[in-house]
């Protein structure tokens, strides 16, 4: 199945539950390409993004082991919109290119591109022939990220402020999974969507 013919763009705000949903799809047979995982691969020691980051931001943002200091960079860019745009200009084209390379090699029933900025940035528009939004109440997002990343509510909300609103995401969605329900209900909804997506992919390829 060629991802250019049929793929899913899965998005949602930070802490919305995208990873949980994507993992269930993967277990059912979809090929998942996660932008956050790709971004991490670009900023580990020897990653394609390290030298451009060093040149743009300085050696202080690179750890002794050669990886980008993610915590330091996060603090830097989310308090300065211009600096965030500089980082995005470096990383996002690389993330896109690597994501497409991974999709070319995928052998699942169809490809799911997981990307938290699918709605926000033009570079990601069109990634996915259908858009699946994982929706989550904002207070639940904040509490989840605070616990997961050991961040303050103010830090989490600063990140959320750079992302699309729930309303904007939902307006672009073809499909929605609301995460504030039982795990059994989430699994059932993902299963129903997987069956629908698989049938769509098969009809396109036949």
Contact yes or no for 33/41 (Cβ under 8 A): no
Contact yes or no for 8/128 (Cβ under 8 A): yes
CA 15 distance to own-chain centroid: 11
Alpha-carbon distance 17 to 79, whole Å?
Answer: 25
Coil, helix or strand for 9?
strand
Alpha-carbon distance 44 to 75, whole Å?
Answer: 18
Mean pLDDT over all residues of the chain? Answer: 92
This prediction's pTM:
0.89
What does R_g of the chain's alpha carbons equal in angstroms? 17
C-alpha dihedral, 52 to 97 to 22 to 13, nearest 10°? 50
Give pLDDT tens digits for 130-142. 999 999 888 888 8
C-alpha dihedral, 120 to 123 to 124 to 125, nearest 10°? 80
In this structure, the number of other CB atoms found within 10 A of the CB of residue 142 comes to 21
Give pLDDT tens digits for 1-23. 678 889 999 999 888 899 999 99
Strands 7-11 and 175-178: unpaired
Coil, helix or strand for 73?
helix
- The predicted pLDDT at position 14 comes to 87
């Amino acid at each position: 199945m060629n991802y250019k013919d049929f793929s899913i763009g899965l998005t949602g705000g930070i802490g919305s539950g995208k990873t949980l949903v994507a993992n269930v799809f993967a277990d059912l047979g979809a090929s998942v390409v996660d932008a956050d995982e790709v971004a991490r691969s670009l900023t580990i020691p020897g990653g394609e993004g390290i030298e451009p980051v060093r040149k743009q931001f300085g050696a202080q943002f690179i750890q002794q082991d050669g990886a980008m200091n993610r915590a330091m960079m996060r603090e830097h860019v989310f308090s300065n919109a211009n600096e965030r745009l500089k980082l995005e200009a470096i990383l996002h084209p690389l993330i896109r290119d690597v994501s497409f390379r991974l999709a070319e090699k995928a052998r699942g029933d169809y490809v799911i591109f997981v990307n938290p900025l699918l709605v926000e940035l033009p570079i990601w528009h069109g990634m996915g022939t259908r858009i699946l939004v994982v929706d989550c109440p904002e207070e639940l997002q904040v509490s989840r990220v605070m616990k997961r990343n050991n961040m303050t509510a103010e830090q989490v909300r600063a990140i959320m402020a750079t992302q699309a609103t729930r309303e904007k995401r939902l307006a672009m969605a073809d499909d929605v999974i609301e995460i504030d329900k039982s795990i059994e209900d989430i699994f059932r909804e993902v299963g129903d969507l997987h069956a629908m997506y698989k049938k769509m992919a098969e009809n396109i390829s036949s």
